């Protein structure tokens, strides 16, 4: 599996600073296979028109591409209806849609919103704003020593005052896999709705929203081979029906008079304005590519890679690895630091060896404070990575401290 997909990704054939590119930042955005690039190009070459709005062939073709993607996404995540799939710009926009359309209308003074300390800012700041505006209480579930939300936090923080629980399935910092099924079950027992941040899970493991009984789920196309600018909000039909629109204007209306308007049915009432049909075409191609490999195979390959990386990095002096080392509880993300070297310096030095990692707080500042660090280095893997990539990372890390004059220790 390790090598047969690399040929499909033009960017992975590049050289950086005289070295073969090792791309280890797929948690931020994945590289794109030729089939995805060509799908977007084909749309703009042969089908470029506004969907839903034209009675001519080109517009109808654009509509078919756009709506077919909705069905493809529905099937990929196990949703019950096309109506439950709403296209957004990205996961951040999807969370804002939820916060303003659901949170501002169905959460009141004294109600509790529960998230984990490991949330990406996209699944944190919108709920902060809802809590401030509505006089609600924002509560955090904290992590155990492995970086996972434990049972006692789930049962202790989600109470009968809780109205909404929103939690990441896979931490974008630690790669740890949270027990979202148990969190959702607890939320429902307490009468709360449950939101899953699936941005780091949908691209890497099989997910069925109906089986999980998630009320909402959010993810981005660009983290699963698709172009930037296309994301997904899944929501149960009965909840979406109750929610008012988030963006007002063209294509989300039914009738408009001088003083009033009525709105289109779901999902269209949440998709105001001209939509990203080229992105949708790319998302369909991306899902077909992933389906052809198989999500179970992708998950196992990534676990093997992160396990190999933990083994290699553990042998290098002065490196601290964060989160569990148990690959059964971990996806393909590995956060670490090099003693006495700032993560930004580590990333710059690794780039000299052709290795691309992410360094910083990873849009998770509260988690950084909880971990008592300012920032970390993050290597994130996908099925197109290889053990040779890990070896190149390890070799570069072994030399990192020497660059800053620490000698050969």
pLDDT tens digit sequence for 302-348: 999 999 999 999 999 999 999 999 999 999 999 999 999 999 999 99
Given this model, what pLDDT does residue 250 score? 87
Given this model, what pLDDT does residue 46 score? 95
Question: pLDDT confidence of 1, banded at 50, 70, 90?
Answer: very low
User: Which residue stretches of 9-116 are H helix?
Assistant: 34-46, 57-77, 91-97, 104-106
Contact of 367 with 326, CB cutoff 8 Å:
no
Dist. CA 55–CA 52, nearest whole Å: 8
**128-137 average pLDDT score:** 98
**183-204 average pLDDT score:** 98
Report the run of H or E that residue 359 belongs to, with start and end.
strand 358-360
Q: What percent of the chain has pLDDT over 90?
A: 94
Question: pLDDT confidence of 390, banded at 50, 70, 90?
Answer: very high
**205-213 average pLDDT score:** 97
Question: What dihedral angle (degrees, nearest 10) is formed by the CA atoms of 337, 339, 344, 347?
Answer: -70
Number of residues assigned to the chain? 409
Contact of 68 with 94, CB cutoff 8 Å:
no
Least reliable range by pLDDT among 96-105, 173-182, 232-241, 395-404: 395-404
Judged against a pLDDT cut of 60, whether residue 2 lies above it is answered with no
Residue that is written with structure tokens 């941005």 in the block: 199
Given this model, what pLDDT does residue 408 score? 55
Question: pLDDT confidence of 4, banded at 50, 70, 90?
Answer: confident
Judged against a pLDDT cut of 90, whether residue 406 lies above it is answered with no
Q: Please, what is the angle between helix 387-403 and helix 343-352, to 10°?
A: 120
Cis peptide, bond prior to residue 85, ω within 30 of zero = no
Judged against a pLDDT cut of 50, whether residue 209 lies above it is answered with yes
Mean pLDDT rounded to a whole number for the chain: 96
Dist. CA 88–CA 214, nearest whole Å: 19
What sign does the CA torsion over 71, 273, 119, 107 have?
Answer: negative
**255-269 average pLDDT score:** 92
Given this model, what pLDDT does residue 254 score? 86
Please count the other Cβ atoms lying within 10 Å of the Cβ belonging to residue 18.
8
Residue that is written with structure tokens 């654009």 in the block: 62
Contact of 378 with 28, CB cutoff 8 Å:
no
Given this model, what pLDDT does residue 407 score? 65
Contact of 354 with 392, CB cutoff 8 Å:
yes
Judged against a pLDDT cut of 90, whether residue 253 lies above it is answered with no
Short-list 200, 121, 170, 174, CA closest to 336: 174
Q: For 81, phi and psi rounded to 5 degrees?
A: -155, 150
**275-288 average pLDDT score:** 97
The per-residue pLDDT for range 336-374, each reduced to its tens digit, is 999 999 999 999 999 999 999 999 999 999 999 999 999
Catalytic annotation present for 363: yes
Question: pLDDT confidence of 409, banded at 50, 70, 90?
Answer: low
Q: What percent of the chain has pLDDT over 70?
A: 99
Domains of the chain with CATH codes? 6-24+295-403 (3.90.1150.10), 36-291 (3.40.640.10)
- Which of these is catalytic: 104, 363, 373, 398? 363
Given this model, what pLDDT does residue 333 score? 98
Judged against a pLDDT cut of 70, whether residue 111 lies above it is answered with yes
The per-residue pLDDT for range 10-28, each reduced to its tens digit, is 999 999 999 999 999 999 9
Dist. CA 321–CA 207, nearest whole Å: 28
**161-179 average pLDDT score:** 98
**207-222 average pLDDT score:** 98
Short-list 287, 220, 207, 274, CA closest to 247: 274
The secondary structure of residue 177, as a DSSP letter, is: B
User: Which residue stretches of 165-294 are H helix?
Assistant: 180-189, 209-212, 237-242, 277-293
Given this model, what pLDDT does residue 81 score? 98
């Amino acid at each position: 599996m390790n090598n047969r997909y690399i040929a499909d990704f033009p960017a992975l054939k590049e050289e950086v600073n005289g070295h073969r590119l090792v791309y280890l930042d797929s948690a931020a955005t994945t590289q794109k296979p030729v089939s995805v690039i060509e799908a977007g190009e084909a749309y703009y070459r042969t089908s470029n028109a506004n969907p839903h709005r034209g009675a001519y062939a080109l517009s109808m073709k654009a509509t078919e591409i756009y709506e077919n993607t909705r069905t493809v996404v529905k099937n990929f995540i196990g949703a019950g209806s096309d109506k439950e799939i709403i296209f957004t710009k990205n996961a951040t926009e999807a969370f804002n849609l939820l916060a303003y359309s659901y949170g501002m209308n169905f959460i009141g003074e004294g109600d509790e919103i529960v998230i984990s300390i490991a949330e990406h800012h996209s699944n944190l700041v919108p709920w902060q704003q809802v809590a401030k505006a509505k006089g609600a209480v924002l509560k955090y579930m904290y992590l155990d020593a492995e970086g996972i939300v434990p049972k006692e936090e789930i049962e202790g923080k989600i109470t009968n005052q809780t109205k909404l629980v929103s939690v990441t399935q896979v931490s974008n910092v630690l790669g740890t896999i949270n027990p979202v099924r148990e969190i959702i079950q607890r939320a429902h027992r307490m009468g709360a709705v449950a939101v899953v941040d699936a941005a780091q899970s949908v691209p890497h493991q099989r997910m069925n929203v109906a089986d999980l009984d998630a009320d909402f789920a959010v993810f981005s196309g660009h983290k699963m081979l698709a172009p930037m600018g296309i994301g997904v909000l899944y929501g149960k039909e009965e909840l979406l029906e109750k929610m008012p629109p988030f963006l007002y204007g063209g294509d989300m209306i039914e009738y408009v008079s001088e003083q009033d308007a009525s709105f289109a049915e779901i999902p269209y009432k949440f998709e105001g304005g001209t939509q990203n049909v080229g992105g949708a075409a790319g998302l369909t191609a991306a899902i077909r590519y992933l389906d052809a490999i198989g999500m179970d195979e992708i998950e196992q390959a990534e676990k093997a890679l992160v396990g190999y990386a933990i083994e290699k990095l553990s042998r290098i002096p002065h490196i601290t690895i964060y989160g569990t080392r148990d690959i059964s509880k971990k996806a393909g993300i590995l956060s670490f630091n090099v003693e006495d070297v700032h993560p930004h310096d580590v990333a710059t030095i690794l780039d000299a060896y052709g290795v691309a990692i992410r360094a910083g707080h990873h849009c998770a500042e509260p988690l950084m404070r909880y971990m008592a660090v300012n920032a970390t280095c993050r290597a994130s893997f996908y099925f197109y990575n290889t053990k040779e990539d890990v070896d190149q990372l390890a070799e570069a890390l072994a030399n990192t401290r020497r660059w800053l004059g620490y000698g050969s220790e």
